[in-house]
Each structure stands twice: as structure tokens, then as C-alpha cells.
Amino acid sequence: MTTRPAAAVTAAGLAAVLLAACSSGSGSDGASGKGFAGALPAHAPATPTATQTPTPTPTPLPAGPYVALGDSYTAGIKIAPQVGDPKGCDRSGANYPSLVAKALGLAPGQFQDVSCSGARTGDLTSPQQTNGGANPPQLDALTPATRLVTVGIGGNDAGFMEVVTQCAKDNLVDAVKGLVGSGRAASPCRDRYAAGGTDEVQRKVDAAGDRLGRALKEIARRSPQARVYVVGYPALLPADPASCGPVLGSTLAPADLGFLVEKEQQLNGMLRKRAESAGAVFVDAATPSAGHDMCAGGARWVEPPFPAPGLAAIHPNAKGQEAVAAVVLKAVKG
């Protein structure tokens, strides 16, 4: 009987976990609010003297209603406590929208979280089927009275989790070829998606941007008085992917890890561009998450392919949700 090579075992396990991560929730894709300040106190500005510069009146914080829209990175898949219906949305009561609402002191009736794991931009205007029932069109939660909206979506439209999974598969096949003497490619995943000179991932990101742009216009139409914040995705990998060796092993080519970093940057860049074009605010979650990626050990905000027990692979953990909540609050408070 022969023994299966260690590299192939590692890659096979990684690919299997990634596939499981992508099938969680609807089939695609505990923290507290402590430490977050509440609404800023309203102080009357001092009367300026001849030598003083008038103090600008701060923009008042939204008092609600607040509606949170998004996919699994917003919903908080597998983070306790799981709340709301349908159960297939895997929505956490400790996700960043819930923490933001708590920090703003919003009453339950002033906050509605309709995010859902696996959501795409099309699910903003159409029902989303999950393994626990249908989630109504997310934009149906908006009204003319809505004053605050956060949107965290686009990764599933771009097929980002599918790209991560395919990269694991391609590297597995390439590793096996290397073991039988065929040699390894420098970047088998990049080779796949850039075949023929066309960047297939960029094409999907651009198409997702078009759909998001239309969705943001619809949000503005339904809730014209709302302040809208488009929330980006946290960094999944460090700037130097080679440092992920202890976590991801040597099977995944460093060049392909770099490829994934590049694709996530393109995705966040698209979200920023679309937010600014629509007059919304882009909330950068990638920059503050530097050093807290899936390979950062105990400091990580995103779980690796082999996550801590009970958590979702390649998704934010409770620390990650707290961190994003802090960034969103900073943006809201201006």
C-alpha cells in the first residue's frame, strides 16, 4: 500500500474546506458592543469673538431608522447569537450592523438588519431563496423615513469565493503534476483567469459594479433622506502572501496568493468608485484590517480555510465584526 504525498493531502483538504465554505448559508458564500461610543453629545457652539474662527456645527448623527443590507460578511455567518428569519441567512445579533445600532442607541424599532449570507446585488430587489426559507427583497426594508443605510455586497456577484476555491483546486492539480515530475507552474490560478489575455475576474468585478450602481440609485430613490455607506471587505491575506506558509502550507503558489490579494483590491476599488459616483460614503475595511488577515494567528479578524471550531472559513470572526463596526461608526460620526 502506498502513502498519499503530504502536499497533495494538504491541498485536497484545503480545497474541500473552501468548497464547504462556499456552500454555507444559502449555498454561496459572539461579540459585544462594548468599547463603542454612543451618539455624540450636542453642544451649542461658543459665540465667536473677533479673533476666533467660528466652530463648524457638526453633522448630527442619524437617529434612525437604520437599515443594513448585505451578504455573509455583513450577516455574520456562524457568529453567536444567530438571530432573525429566515434561518438560512445566518444572521448574527453581534454583526457590525447590530453593534453600530447599539452604539448609536437606536431602539429595536429603529433598526432592521436584512442582510443574508450568499446575497448578490440581485437579491436587493428580488427574494433570495435560502435553505431556511426565502429572504424578502432587501430593499423592501427601506422607506422614505429611513435615515441610515449600510451596504456590504458585491463579492458574490464577482464570484470571489468561487475564485478562491478554484485557485485551491488548480494548485492541487499542479501540485500533483509536480509530484509526478511534470513540474509546477508559477501561478496556475492566474493562468486560468487570464487565459487569452482577458482578466475574467476583472470582467466580473466590473459587471458587479454596474449592478451595484443601479442598486445605489434605487436606494436613493426609496430613501432620499438617508445617509448611505458602502462597506468594503476586510483584507483576507497579508500584503506579503508568502508569510502565510505556516497557515496555508506550501501547496498554494505564492504568486497565486498574490493574485488573490490583487483581485480583492480590485473588488474594493470598484466598491469605492461606485459609492463615490452615487454620492455615498465608502467605508474602507481593508486598511484597518492590515495585520489581522487570516494568517495573523490570534490577531486575525478573518478565519482561515481551517477555522476555529464553530466559525466560518474565510469569513470575519467576532473580532472582525467589532473592528468593522468601529470603522463604520467612525465614518458615520464623520
Tens digits of residue pLDDT in 109-139: 999 999 999 999 999 999 999 999 999 999 9
Longest CA–CA span in the chain (Å) reads 91
Q: 109 in a domain, yes or no?
A: yes
Catalytic residues: 72, 315
pLDDT at 259: 84
What pTM does this model have?
A: 0.81
Are the C-beta atoms of 245 and 253 separated by less than 8 Å?
no
Residue 34 lies in a domain: no
Domain of residue 128, residue span: 8-29+60-333
Per the domain annotation, does 186 fall within a domain?
yes
pLDDT of residue 54: 61
The pLDDT of residue 229 is 98
In a domain? residue 53: no
229 by Cβ neighbours in 10 Å (0-12 / 13-18 / 19+) ranks as buried
Tell me, what's the pLDDT at 275?
A: 98
Q: What is the pLDDT of residue 327?
A: 98
Residue 80 lies in a domain: yes
Domain count for the chain, please give it: 1
The one-character DSSP state at 199 is -
Residue 46 domain flag: no
Averaged pLDDT in 10-residue chunks for the chain of 334 residues: 41 44 41 34 44 62 90 98 96 98 94 97 96 97 98 91 76 58 64 78 91 97 98 93 78 79 93 98 97 94 93 96 98 92
Phi and psi at 6, nearest 5°, equal -60, -40
The CATH number assigned to the domain holding 124 equals 3.40.50.1110
Q: Which helix (H) or strand (E) holds 228?
A: strand 227-231
In a domain, 42, yes or no: no
pLDDT at 234: 97
Residue 38 forms part of a structural domain: no
Distance CA 157, CA 170 (A): 21
Strands, E, within 53-203: which ranges?
A: 66-70, 111-113, 128-130, 133-135, 148-152
